Amino acid sequence: MRKYGLSKKILVTGGAGFLGSHLCDRLLEQGHEVLCADNMFTGSKRNIEHLSGHSRFEFMRHDVTFPLYVEVDEIYNLACPASPIHYQHDPVQTTKTSVHGAINMLGLAKRVRAKIMQASTSEIYGDPEVHPQPESYLGKVNPIGHRSCYDEGKRCAETLFFDYHRQHKIRVKVVRIFNTYGPRMHPNDGRVVSNFIMQALRGVDITLYGDGEQTRSFCYVDDLIDGFIKVMETMDDFTGPVNIGNPSEFSMRQLAELVVELTNSRSKIVHAPLPPDDPRQRQPDISLARQTLGWEPKVKLRQGLERTIQYFEQLLGAA
Ligand code: UDP
């Protein structure tokens, strides 16, 4: 065991990404030793530069589709491009990252007897016919569409987690992440929150896809990280899958109007075509997280957007 007091050695794959870097910060604050692995496809140095030189932080350029031999107590497996433009750039590699990445990280967990958490996604529900989506809903996913490399890759990763748990008695946790936003989002990832804020700050047209009536439920990053930590800390018999997200649902039109208001922007809202397989509505049912973890999100959309806008303002100022 590498435990000294309550401090653990923790691997975060995708640790230089949007969520991963916030998770590294939180684990360091808690006194742990953090090994951050990232192949830097969508991860960025800027997200972790404040940690370089930290005595308990180590960065490693590594692609999870290759095995990794390290000694750790816990693993958070976050590695995978998550925005449609990034994961569709090389769809075969996206599936490999989820599937081979899960196999490699589960293999590592098995060898060192580590507890391991998988960052799964609301995308495993596809374009849902049940609303809001409880964990028991099995989903409606197109297996051959443009989103399938991500959706089916993440579904298969969940399968692997549960088979390793049943077959090899690995301690697993599966978290299904719903739309999350906050500082360190990639400015060019095409996600709706980053797109709208960047467009509003630059004073260019805001691109509302389709009729703008499709909905999403946005969780502020700090709330999500609280959820991750709570899930990892629950008893070993709680494996999930568990939804972590904010149930307050907004249409994309409402989001666009709110961003324009908060940035005092002169941008106009214009319509653009809806991407293929774009889910009509999405909202987490978080009853399970409330009951088992005592977790629920605290940050309201307006408050979270204000903090995110501040981040993008600084980013544009520094460019
Ligand atoms: N969207 C939009 N304008 C944009 C980017 C996205 O209207 O500039 C819409 C998109 O069609 C979708 C929603 O916003 O309905 C959320 O898109 P995002 O890519 O952020 O997340 P996901 O579809 O994976 O939930």
Closest C-alpha residue for ligand 1 atom 6: 192
> Prior bond to 183 cis, omega within 30?
no
Q: What is the mean pLDDT of residues 53-72?
A: 98
Asked if 88 contacts 146 with a C-beta cutoff of 8 angstroms, the reply is yes
Q: Would you say the CB of residue 179 lies under 6 angstroms from ligand 1?
A: yes
Q: Would you say the CB of residue 275 lies under 6 angstroms from ligand 1?
A: yes
| Gap between the Cα atoms of 256 and 192, Å rounded | 9
Q: Would you say the CB of residue 256 lies under 6 angstroms from ligand 1?
A: no
Closest C-alpha residue for ligand 1 atom 18: 191
Exposed/middle/buried for residue 319 (C-beta within 10 Å: 0-12, 13-18, 19+)? exposed
At 249, give phi and psi (nearest 5°). -100, 140
Q: Which of 159, 138, 153 is nearest to 88 (CA)?
A: 153
- Dmax (CA) of the chain: 58
Segment (H or E) for 154: helix 148-168
Q: How do strand 249-251 and strand 215-217 relate by DSSP bridges?
A: antiparallel
Which CATH number among 3.40.50.970, 2.30.110.10, 3.90.550.10, 3.40.50.720 corresponds to the domain 9-181+219-247+284-298? 3.40.50.720
Cα dihedral 92, 93, 98, 102 sign: positive
With cut-offs at 50, 70 and 90, classify the pLDDT of residue 5.
low
CA–centroid distance, residue 194 to ligand 1 (Å): 10
The pLDDT value given to residue 279: 86
Segment (H or E) for 301: helix 301-318
| Gap between the Cα atoms of 41 and 21, Å rounded | 14
Q: How do strand 206-209 and strand 115-121 relate by DSSP bridges?
A: unpaired
Q: Express each pLDDT in 26-45 by its tens digit.
A: 999 999 999 999 999 999 99
Q: Express each pLDDT in 128-154 by its tens digit.
A: 899 999 999 999 999 999 999 999 999
Q: What is the mean pLDDT of residues 273-280?
A: 88
